[in-house]
Structure 1
Amino acid sequence: MFTSFTRHVAALTLLAASCSQAFGYGAVGHNTVGDIADQLIQGHRAAAEVKRILGPVSLRDIAVWDDCVKGIDVYKDFQYTSTGRFPECAVFENPSEEALMRAYVQRNNEQCKPKPGEESCHKQYHYSNVAIQRGHYEAGAVGTSDHDLVPALKSAIQVLRGGQANPPTDLTEREALALVAHTLGDMHQPLHMGSIYLDADGKVYDPDKQGADPQTHTVGANAITLPRPDGTPGGNLHSYWDGLPNRLTAAQLAALPEQARRVTPTGGSPDRWVDLWASESLQEAQLAFDGMRFGPRQQTPRGPRWAATPPTDYDARSIEQVRLELIKGGARLAQLLMSIWPDKP
């Protein structure tokens, strides 16, 4: 069914194959969001508070910390086992920083009582799997939990405001800042917020109306494969989106902070911002799946999989969508930090 694909399929497949690490937005995306916010808060109280908490570590670097902690192996006495694998984590690969990562994972490993097949608690802070039909984030919908991306981000904000973390999250002030910086990036990667559910024939399924069925869950498109030119399954769609910031040119990346200064600030109470941004990201997820066709479900040793047929303009439009999301993510991180630590009169 994929023999009619041309060169754009090869480009999609090569990128997906190169983005196999499960790092939302990868280093480029998260570093970019942190860097944009760092530039926008300069001269404000928020910059001084960030410096107080992080010391010599930059907001750019701490934005990827919550992915680096995945290098802590809970089956090897909580030792860090990824030394040298990811250049973006090098700043944290020393005894004192590894001890901080270890302590975080120990406190955020199983306290949420993961169900069979679910990831460690702290890994679940990075995403939600709301069906794209919802169009807005609503606690209790299929794909949400009390420790998904939205409540985890709210808990971290509460800690930075001087309060206590909401269980099951357990956060120090530094961990809370790291989580805020990271999840603002994850929230602006649409497939970290919205998921498409598919039936055995590859037809869109609504788990909230038709009933939750694990066989329909694409896990934020991790179970959706892109085709190689010969029609065989290639990399997965979620990894493709995680890697899109790498497709931006150096000039495009350099222009993002100034473009972020022109983003219209979110209005209303800061207490509502996270829900508003989450709901907007779900609408972006709808765009990410627009025009895509899916083959029938295939059972594999790793669970169900569906092959996708992207529209011919998918590559160009997805890159532009992510560029705009990075701008908003950085601007909103800066806005959030300046609301937590407003300038004094």
Structure 2
Amino acid sequence: MKSAPCRSLLLAISVILLSTIAAQAYGPLGHEIVGAIADERLADTPTAAKVSALLDGLTLERAAVIPDEIKGWDKKGVDNPRSFHYLAHRKIDRQLRDFWRANQPTHDPNSTAPSHHWFHYTDVPVVPPQRYRDGTAGRSRWDIVHMIPFCVQVLQGRVPEQNDRKITKPVALILLAHYVADIHQPLHVGAEYFDTQGRIADPDKDKSVLGDEGGNIFTLELSDEPPRKRGMHKKKFHGFWDYDAVNALFPQAPSTLGKSDLQALIEPLKKELVHEMATHEPRNCR
């Protein structure tokens, strides 16, 4: 049986994180916004202190981007001498590396060990439209619908930290800070399937169909409206949702602006947006 403090911590974290989804933000900047909203809503509470202790001082704003950052280990592995470290948080760094080793990237759907990439999404068919429980195509025991409760159960103590997936309580909280935004990104939870002729197909009836890979097989040809006149350019649909849709919340910066100057421009606007989202429920979010 989980303790009362554990129950209250888990409930507070879950409610705060889930209440941030109206930010509709999923790239690095978007995940930071979602985490920062949670940080502000938890500020100066006992729960915030527990979160900080669990994350070794990391904010949820910072933690929320880590599950995507560690994909940077995929190419050469965590044991490569040049792989990056979270040097200021060595215990969490070790736990994240153990998590990566236990869930290394693979394209083999029958692999006995899942890829950590699989934890970020589920591919429920959108044509014909389905609910998660309506079928099996595109779902797996390692998808985001299963991994969110798995992380919750680790925090509750119902799943031991010494589990096969190497998800400790700090890692579970880091993953939750990220996954609760991912699961509200439409391209992380639905997919369209096509046969070899490129026709829309039902994966429950034709097992040879191919999915849209979260919208990554769709290429958008974009042309900004005047007065920008930037011409035509192409972008994967998933990338457009993750980045362009979020960046549209902020004024366009000159392409010549350096990284530090860009950060100085964006940061106060981001804080203003975070405060607005943390203190006012967006219209039609329920």
Which residue is equivalent to 1:169? 165
Mean alpha-carbon deviation: is it higher for 28-37 or for 93-102? Answer: 93-102
**1:260-298 Cα distance to aligned partner (Å, 9 max, x none):** 44449xxxxxxxxxxxxxxxxxxxxxxxxxxxxxxxxxx
SS of the residue corresponding to residue 120 of structure 2 reads: coil
- Cα 1:189–1:113 shift into 2, 3 Å: closer
**1:238-276 Cα distance to aligned partner (Å, 9 max, x none):** 111111212212547623443344449xxxxxxxxxxxx
Is there any run of 5+ residues in structure 2 with no aligned partner, and where? 1-24, 224-231, 251-265
- Alignment equivalent of 1:227, drawn from 221, 246, 249: 221
- The question of 1:59 aligning with 2:60 is answered yes
- The question of 1:137 aligning with 2:155 is answered no
- Cα 1:173–1:69 shift into 2, 3 Å: same
Q: 1:156 Cα deviation (Å)?
A: 0.3
Structure-to-structure mapping, 1:190-229, within 5 angstroms = 190-200=186-196, 202-208=198-204, 210-214=205-209, 216-227=210-221
SS of the residue corresponding to residue 79 of structure 1 reads: coil
- The question of 1:108 aligning with 2:109 is answered no
- Cα 1:28–1:223 shift into 2, 3 Å: same
RMSD: 3.6
- Distance in 2 separating the partners of 1:102 and 1:75: 13
Q: Contact between 2:40 and 2:275, CA under 8 Å: does it hold in 1? A: yes
SS of the residue corresponding to residue 57 of structure 1 reads: coil
SS of the residue corresponding to residue 133 of structure 2 reads: coil
Letter of the structure 2 residue corresponding to residue 155 of structure 1: F
Q: 1:185 Cα deviation (Å)?
A: 1.3
Which residue is equivalent to 2:69? 68
- Distance in 2 separating the partners of 1:113 and 1:235: 24
Q: 1:139 Cα deviation (Å)?
A: 7.8
- Cα 1:241–1:118 shift into 2, 3 Å: farther
- Distance in 1 separating the partners of 2:206 and 2:280: 43
Q: Contact between 1:226 and 1:235, CA under 8 Å: does it hold in 2? A: yes
Which residue is equivalent to 2:147? 152
- Distance in 2 separating the partners of 1:224 and 1:102: 33
- Distance in 2 separating the partners of 1:219 and 1:118: 22
Letter of the structure 1 residue corresponding to residue 101 of structure 2: Q
Q: 1:145 Cα deviation (Å)?
A: 0.6
Which residue is equivalent to 1:282? none
- Distance in 2 separating the partners of 1:60 and 1:122: 21
What is the percent sequence identity of the aligned residues? 29
- Cα 1:263–1:138 shift into 2, 3 Å: farther
Relative contact order (alpha carbons < 8 A, sep ≥ 6): 1 or 2 greater?
Answer: 1
- Distance in 2 separating the partners of 1:108 and 1:119: 6
- Distance in 1 separating the partners of 2:221 and 2:82: 33
User: Would you say how many aligned residue pairs link Structure 1 and Structure 2?
Assistant: 233
Which residue is equivalent to 1:33? 34
Which residue is equivalent to 2:174? 178
Q: 1:62 Cα deviation (Å)?
A: 0.5
Q: Contact between 2:151 and 2:172, CA under 8 Å: does it hold in 1? A: yes
Q: Contact between 2:65 and 2:178, CA under 8 Å: does it hold in 1? A: yes
Which residue is equivalent to 2:276? 258
**1:163-208 Cα distance to aligned partner (Å, 9 max, x none):** 2169763310000000100101111211011111233554432212
SS of the residue corresponding to residue 219 of structure 2 reads: strand
Mean alpha-carbon deviation: is it higher for 216-225 or for 74-83? Answer: 74-83
Normalising by structure 1, we get a TM-score of 0.58
- Cα 1:102–1:154 shift into 2, 3 Å: same
**1:218-252 Cα distance to aligned partner (Å, 9 max, x none):** 111111112367xx993211111111212212547
Letter of the structure 2 residue corresponding to residue 176 of structure 1: A
- Cα 1:57–1:259 shift into 2, 3 Å: closer
Structure-to-structure mapping, 1:279-298, within 5 angstroms = none
Q: 1:137 Cα deviation (Å)?
A: 1.8
- Distance in 1 separating the partners of 2:189 and 2:131: 10
